[in-house]
Chains A and B, each alone.
Chain A
Amino acid sequence: MTEPDNLHQRFDKVWRNLPGWGALAAVNHTSVGRRFMVTGGIFFLIGGLLAMLIRTQLALPDQDTLSPGLYSQMFTMHGTVMMFLFAIPILEGAAIYLIPKMIGARDLIFPRLSALGYYCYLFGGIIVLSSLLLGIAPDAGWFMYTPLSNAEFSPGPGSDFWLLGITFVEISAVSAGIELTVAILRSRTQGMTLSKMPIFCWYILVTALMIVFGFPPLILASILLELERAAGMPFFDVAAGGDPILWQHLFWLFGHPEVYIIFLPAAGMVSTILPVFTGRPLVGYRWIVMAVILTGFISFGLWAHHMFTVGIPQMAQAFFSMASMMVAIPTAIQIFAWLATIWTGRVVYSLPMLWIFGFLFIFVIGGLTGVMLAMVPFNWQVHDSHFVVAHLHYVLVGGMLFPLIGGLYYWLPHFSGRMPSERLGRWGFWLTFIGFNATFFLMHLTGLLGMPRRFYTYGEGAGWDWLNLLSSVGSFVIATGVAMIIIDVVLHFRFGRKAGSNPWNADTLEWATGTPPPMYNFASLPEIKSRHPLWNQPELLESIPAGEHGLTQIEHGRRETFGTDAITGKLKEVMLLPTNSWLPLITAAVLAVLCVSLLVRSYTVAMVAAAVAAVFLFRWSWENGGHPKAAPLGDKEPEEAPLQSRTTDGSGLWGMVITLLADGALYLALLFGWLYLWTVAPNWAVPDESPISLPMMALSGLLLTGATWWYSGAVKKLKAGNDSGLESRFWVATGTGAAHLALLAWITFASPLATTEYTHDAVLFVMLMFLIFHSSITVIATGLQALRVRFGYVSKKLPYEPVVLRPMWIFTLAIFWCSVASFLLLPIAWGPA
């Protein structure tokens, strides 16, 4: 047996999935990423099928193939499935699969979190789709405008399926966002400074951060609307002091960034593939990085362009109109950087390139109509018409699906070790491309001729007949194109010729894993010297599997990868990665039970499920640090760098901080809602006297302040190498925190909050529950830390975990006092509205 084979055997033993059904316990990013992508592909076909039904209904005037009610379910589910169950998850899956390989890591750094994300996505998707089979699917449109989606106008469970199921699915998006951010920042291979990072990683980094900030407003909105439907808390009900427009603000506060969350990873694929097939590095690298970051920022400032017909103030319309047009600048920078790359290079015609040309063609049209739509007077005409339907499909199909299929063909040899068929692939492309333009190009005209979207039928005299017929024919051509692609992909697994390693002569590290990749990606972790490692260090293709680089010890049986500095890529620590685990599947299953029990309104079951899920989640964190199943003291320590649990600045701390950013965004969305209702809601009513006792809140806050101060002091001493009395310090913090929590809970449930009568009181209730939730987690986690000190899993040699928990204390403290100031004191200062 040769040395590389021998090395492979030893690594494979540690990294492979469990056999048979045990594969369900897999946590490694290659398996999880593949599952995400295959599942996303299946949801895409289901979403496509719904689109065919919609087009069948609209092919001729006055048709009644579908009833109006069924038609409403179809288009609502088409949008929902394509956005939430296909576009976002499949791109997450691609990022989960590719990122560690591109940055030279063996796995993502929170593998169990990726697996949990996958199962939440799968179960959530199944729950949402089951409503379709039961004939009770959501039918208020994929943006669920209230009051149409509330309990009065949508009395069935359709809206609940949407609100609960999609929120469940979003757990996976947010967890992937957090994980990808930290992985990109902290686990790049040695020498990969931020400026040597593959461009795709920049795109994913920005996307991941956008998910972290963009999803919480929707999660909050969904929680509020579900509370309104299930518990009668009137957040969006004008009569009680709420406002339906608040839903639109929160929805689009998420919804617009989401468009870029979908577009950016796909654009990242374009920026990755284009240089490979022009043989010219992307010289506009810095420009593009800047453009991508700029897109991220601007995308949060233009949500109201979906609301120009709502009647928002003129100045605001002018601002959002300008901001919406501004986003054309970073997009144009990217397009011209790509064109310049083509200009200065030599194009190799291959399937992936064909899809990229298709992307350029379609996406440019979508971008131009986007600038048109940002023009307010024009928007007043075509908003909610088929012009918008055409525009959004040009942007999303052109900007996402085409690069995605280009990427599929590009990375297919990586997944399977085989090459796709050029001939079938070209048929697939041309059918899809022609079909797409036939369906959607003249749909712009359909809209200008006055056909609103979401019409289940139209009369003969309206002048839309031939346009709709053309669109319907086109949609069936797309379907044959997609069928061609599927056949090609399926056949290639059997008949494709062998790919070998690096078949396209690419520059990025994922092609150094061999095709298909081993579970551990790299037997040895290289130090890279440039942005194009495989172009400048081609010897890596041999030297990596031969074990000539770092971290080749495997006898200890631990999964490990390097942790490096966020900016310089200098080696900092050896990260210990968890192995196969059933916890993600079990936790997700319990969460699914929670979701279903909320759907059927069986709240006792829901409470039990929530408690069980919490137990599993805390159990999750137990095998860490010095636990015998992790890396106990006295084991052989790695040579290159200290093990992460022996340090105080590891990935856990980073993960905590990024999680708190998402959490903070959720809190800010709530604060925004409060201030919005206070200033804008037509019938906002404030009780004469605050229902919440201010002195009691102050007392509870002082206890929390004391606990946080005490805990921080203990962590400071620990970091200085002093762990005497650590356990008792933690118990004091736990006890003081528990006293604060008890008082807070008492205030919440003893206050005379009229949550079903006044929006004001309902918002206060949600704010208090938000505080209780955070205080509980912090207190329980601190108690667990005290126990872990007793068991010897945490000590001055293992100071990692208490450091991770400290930002949680500070966050809990910050939101508490911020709430006292803005929810209780500010109104007093302001006086009655």
Chain B
Amino acid sequence: MATMKKTLAAATVAASLMLLSGCSGPYSSLDPAGPAAGSVAALTWAMLIGALTIFIGLILLCWYAVRRNNEELSDAEAQRIQNRWILAGGIALPVVTITALLTFGIPIGHSLLPLPLQQGEGMRIDIKARQWFWEVSYPDTDIQAINEIHIPVDTPVDFHISSADVIHSFWSPRLGGKIDAIPGRTNVLRLEANQVGEYSGQCAEFCGGGHAVMGFTIIALSAEDFEAWLQQEGAETND
């Protein structure tokens, strides 16, 4: 009995681990490492569960509608039933769902915008996309890099993104959503990493033959390490 319990527990742990590991990965939006990705991941789970509930409900309803023993209905009765269905399922259900979604979703969207910070200071990094690499530069310094972006941890970073040729899209899923790099325009995306580490990113808008190999890495350093890196890079560039 005890062994069976143990096996069961082990199996449960293994299963949940598998499920969780199924959601992790270097590019997983479900394995967030920053506030932007975190709030979207929560929204994703909420919507997935909601959608699954509605889906299963509908399938069960359909199943029962097909299976149930049908009494003879007059046309008037049938009409009444159908009106009720349409009002409840066709109008009330989507209206309630949409209202709920927008009530939660619009504030989340708003919180992700690069609005002026209420406290503290963010930093700015300029990104210029090219076929097929990313030019990184730090304003007020001479530091330049390709495909490698160093940022300080726990600091909101505003990426000012543009393109030198075709349209690209800047996406590091573990930190947050994407934004397009468009010639002639500059879009701003705010990302923040909560933990020190390396976060993969890639181009998400098809940009020609090298699209699949247009990756980049965001390296989040602790505040001290980042300062040190800035000093060192700055010195190297000035040499």
> Which of these binds chain A: B9-17, B139-147, B166-174, B225-233?
B166-174
At the interface, yes or no: A457 with Cβ under 8 Å from chain B? yes
Verify A340–B30 contact, CB threshold 8 A: no
Q: List 26 A-B contacts (CB under 8 A).
A: A68-B209, A69-B209, A147-B165, A148-B166, A243-B184, A309-B169, A321-B102, A325-B94, A328-B98, A333-B86, A333-B91, A335-B90, A336-B90, A344-B82, A360-B62, A361-B59, A372-B44, A375-B47, A375-B105, A377-B109, A379-B177, A384-B169, A449-B25, A450-B174, A452-B204, A462-B27
Verify A244–B183 contact, CB threshold 8 A: yes
Give the complex CA separation of A78 and B119 in angstroms.
50
Known: A378-B47, A455-B212. 9 other contacts (CB 8 A): A145-B205, A153-B208, A311-B179, A341-B82, A344-B82, A385-B204, A449-B25, A450-B26, A450-B173
Give the complex CA separation of A454 and B205 in angstroms.
8
Residue of B whose beta carbon sits closest to that of A145:
B167
> Which of these binds chain B: A120-128, A255-263, A363-371, A397-405?
A363-371
Which residues on A sit within 8 Å (CB–CB) of B62?
339, 342, 357, 360
Q: How large is the interface on A (under 10, 10 to 19, 20 to 34, 35 or more residues)?
A: 35 or more
Verify A311–B178 contact, CB threshold 8 A: no
Verify A365–B55 contact, CB threshold 8 A: yes
Verify B66–A342 contact, CB threshold 8 A: yes
Query: Which of A341, A381, A385, A455 has the most chain B CB within a 10 Å cutoff?
Result: A381
At the interface, yes or no: A764 with Cβ under 8 Å from chain B? no
At the interface, yes or no: B7 with Cβ under 8 Å from chain A? no
Write the residues of chain A forming the contact surface with B, with a CB cutoff of 8 angstroms.
68-69, 72, 140-141, 145, 147-148, 153, 238-239, 243-245, 280-281, 283-284, 287, 291, 309-311, 314, 317-318, 321-322, 325-326, 328-329, 332-337, 339-347, 357, 360-361, 364-365, 368-369, 371-372, 375-385, 445, 448-458, 461-464, 682-683
When A335-B90, A369-B51, A682-B184 are in contact, do A381 and B37 touch as well, CB less than 8 Å?
yes
Task: List the 5 closest pairs (A to B, CB-CB), nearest first.
Answer: A380-B177, A450-B27, A463-B25, A238-B184, A333-B90
Write the residues of chain B forming the contact surface with A, with a CB cutoff of 8 angstroms.
22-30, 37, 39-40, 43-44, 47-48, 51, 54-55, 58-59, 61-62, 65-66, 68, 70, 73, 75, 78-79, 81-83, 85-86, 88-91, 93-95, 97-98, 101-102, 105-106, 108-110, 112-113, 131, 165-167, 169, 171, 173-174, 176-180, 182-185, 187, 200, 202-212
Verify B43–A325 contact, CB threshold 8 A: no
Nearest Cβ on chain A to B210's Cβ, whole angstroms: 7
Give the complex CA separation of A413 and B55 in angstroms.
34
Nearest Cβ on chain A to B170's Cβ, whole angstroms: 9
Verify A147–B183 contact, CB threshold 8 A: yes
When A68-B212, A329-B95, A384-B169 are in contact, do A309 and B177 touch as well, CB less than 8 Å?
yes
Give the complex CA separation of A816 and B177 in angstroms.
46
When A335-B90, A375-B43, A375-B101 are in contact, do A380 and B176 touch as well, CB less than 8 Å?
yes
Residue of A whose beta carbon sits closest to that of B163:
A147
Verify A314–B113 contact, CB threshold 8 A: yes
Give the complex CA separation of A375 and B22 in angstroms.
24
Give the complex CA separation of A340 and B61 in angstroms.
10
Residue of A whose beta carbon sits closest to that of B166:
A148
* 8 Å CB contact of A683 from B112, B184, B204: B184
Give the complex CA separation of A46 and B179 in angstroms.
34
Residue of A whose beta carbon sits closest to that of B174:
A450
Which residues on A sit within 8 Å (CB–CB) of B179?
309, 311, 380
When A329-B94, A329-B95 are in contact, do A450 and B25 touch as well, CB less than 8 Å?
yes
Nearest Cβ on chain A to B78's Cβ, whole angstroms: 4
Which residues on B sit within 8 Å (CB–CB) of A449?
23, 25, 27-30
Give the complex CA separation of A573 and B93 in angstroms.
47
Which residues on B sit within 8 Å (CB–CB) of A372?
44, 47-48, 51
Which residues on A sit within 8 Å (CB–CB) of B131?
153
Which residues on B sit within 8 Å (CB–CB) of A287?
86, 90
Verify A325–B98 contact, CB threshold 8 A: yes
Which residues on B sit within 8 Å (CB–CB) of A325?
94, 98, 101-102
Verify A309–B180 contact, CB threshold 8 A: yes
Nearest Cβ on chain B to A635's Cβ, whole angstroms: 49
Nearest Cβ on chain A to B65's Cβ, whole angstroms: 4
Nearest Cβ on chain B to A662's Cβ, whole angstroms: 30
Verify A68–B51 contact, CB threshold 8 A: no
Verify B208–A311 contact, CB threshold 8 A: no
Which residues on B sit within 8 Å (CB–CB) of A329?
90-91, 94-95
